[in-house]
């Protein structure tokens, strides 16, 4: 049963990922990307990592996609399709991508993974204890650094998006 | 782990998504569309961390924590990149990479 659900999710994700990088309407491409993100969240649910699935859905599917849609509405002419890539570029890119995929898959299938068989559930309490642990194997320092990074990114985004207008008025 | 699904199948899925993202990054000419391909690549990388953690070292949590950090950094990176792109659009009125050569002059 879980196997069937996994294969359906995998199929959805691959089809929508391909459509997302080939669609010439940028608004459709972003909606296809949304389905890939939701598929990933579904797989996170299947491996019993609920917190990460929730983060994937709120941050990626909720936040980042909305950010993209807003900026597409600001800068793109929605009805106009994107430029068609040159066929030679498409062949070269397809060649490089399939070569890389082939090499990676070859390496993966030739490596003997030492898999476990029991299912483990990661609870939110585990995640919280690991993130706020200051002992061995704790992640409190990166956690704090990430919060500083998010603050810096927020201030930076405001400053960058504002600066052009400011310069114009001062000249 | 998922019942009946081995790590090979899941790693195949994440490899395919990664290289679909690479293909999109090479072929797209629009800045926002290129950024979307980068999102695909980042997603599959975070996915790989979680899968290796869950299938090989289920008693530890480091892979999951790392993918949380990847998601946080990706959100910051997207916000900054879109701010730069909107600012650039005001300057050149285009997002086509062939037309964005203002630094050369």
CB B41 within 8 A of CB A40: no
A89 belongs to a structural domain: no
- CA–CA gap between residue B105 and residue B85 (Å, rounded): 19
* Same domain as A9, residue A77: yes
Is pTM beyond 0.80? Reply is yes
Chain A residues in contact with B48 (beta carbon < 8 A): none
* DSSP SS3 for A49: strand
Q: Show residues of chain A in contact with B79, CB under 8 Å.
A: 67, 153-154, 157
Q: For residue A129, is it within any domain? A: yes
CATH number for the domain that contains residue A33 = 1.20.120.1200
Q: Kindly report, residue by residue over A92-109, the tens digit of the pLDDT.
A: 999 999 999 999 999 999
Last residue of a domain, one of A81, A99, A114: A81
Residues A4, A57: one domain? yes
Q: Which of A81, A113, A143 is the last residue of a domain?
A: A81
In a domain, A76, yes or no: yes
Residue B98 pLDDT class (50, 70, 90 cuts): confident
Q: Reply yes or no on whether the pLDDT at B102 is more than 90.
A: no
Please, what are the averages of pLDDT over each run of 10 residues along chain A (171 residues)?
90 94 90 94 91 92 91 79 83 94 94 83 88 87 92 90 58 46
Same domain, A5 and A69: yes
pLDDT digits (tens, 9 = 90+) for A32-59: 999 999 999 999 999 889 999 999 999 9
ipTM here: 0.90
Range B47-60 average pLDDT? 90
Q: How many residues does chain B have?
A: 105
Q: Which residues of A touch B73 (CB under 8 A)?
A: 146, 149
Q: Which residue of B has its CA nearest to A56?
A: B71
The answer to whether position A150 is within a domain reads: yes
Q: A150, B76: Cβ pair inside 8 Å?
A: yes
**Does A104 fall in a domain?**
no
Every domain of chain B and the residues it spans: 7-104
CB contact under 8 A, B32 and A55: no
Answer whether B55's CB lies under 8 Å from B1's CB: yes
Q: Is there a contact between A97 and B19 if contact means CB atoms under 8 Å apart? A: yes
B65/A33 CB distance under 8 A: no
3-state SS, one letter per residue, for chain B = CCCCCCHHHHHHHHHHHHHHHHHHHHHCCEHHHHHHHHHHHHHHHHHHHHHHHHHHCCCCCHHHHHHHHHHHHHHHHHHHHHHHHHHHHHHHCCCECCCCCHHHC
Residues of B in contact with A94 (CB under 8 A): 23
Q: Looking at the domain assignment, is residue A108 inside a domain? A: no
Out of A22, A55, A81, a domain closes at: A81
Kindly state whether A163 is in contact with chain B, defined as any CB-CB distance less than 8 angstroms: yes
Q: Return the CATH number of the domain spanning residue range B7-104.
A: 1.10.287.3510
What's the domain count of chain A?
2
State which residues form the domain around A63: 1-81
Residues A128, A75: one domain? no
For the cut 90, the answer to whether the pLDDT of residue B95 exceeds it is no
């Amino acid at each position: 049963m879980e196997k069937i659900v996994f294969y359906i999710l995998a199929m959805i994700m691959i089809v929508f990922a391909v459509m997302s990088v080939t669609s010439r309407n940028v608004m459709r491409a972003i909606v296809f990307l949304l389905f890939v993100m939701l598929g990933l969240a579904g797989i996170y649910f299947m491996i019993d990592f609920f917190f990460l699935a929730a983060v994937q859905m709120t941050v990626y599917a909720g936040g980042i996609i909305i950010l993209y849609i807003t900026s597409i509405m600001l800068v793109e002419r929605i009805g106009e399709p994107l430029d068609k890539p040159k066929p030679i570029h498409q062949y070269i890119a397809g060649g490089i991508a399939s070569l890389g995929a082939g090499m990676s898959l070859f390496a993966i299938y030739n490596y003997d993974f030492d898999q476990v068989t029991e299912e483990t559930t990661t609870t939110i309490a585990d995640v919280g204890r690991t993130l706020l642990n200051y002992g061995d194997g704790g992640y409190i320092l990166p956690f704090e650094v990430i919060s500083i990074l998010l603050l810096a990114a927020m201030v930076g985004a405001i400053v960058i998006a504002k600066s052009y207008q400011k310069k114009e008025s001062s000249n | 782990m998922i019942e009946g699904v081995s790590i090979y199948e899941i790693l195949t899925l994440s490899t395919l998504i990664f290289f679909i993202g690479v293909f999109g990054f090479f072929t797209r000419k629009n800045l926002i569309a290129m950024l979307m391909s980068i999102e695909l690549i980042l997603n599959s990388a975070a996915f790989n961390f979680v899968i290796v953690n869950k299938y090989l070292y289920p008693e530890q949590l480091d892979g999951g924590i790392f993918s949380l950090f990847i998601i946080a950094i990706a959100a910051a990176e997207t916000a900054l990149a879109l701010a730069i792109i909107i600012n650039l659009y005001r300057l050149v009125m285009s997002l086509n990479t062939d037309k964005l050569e203002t630094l050369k002059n």
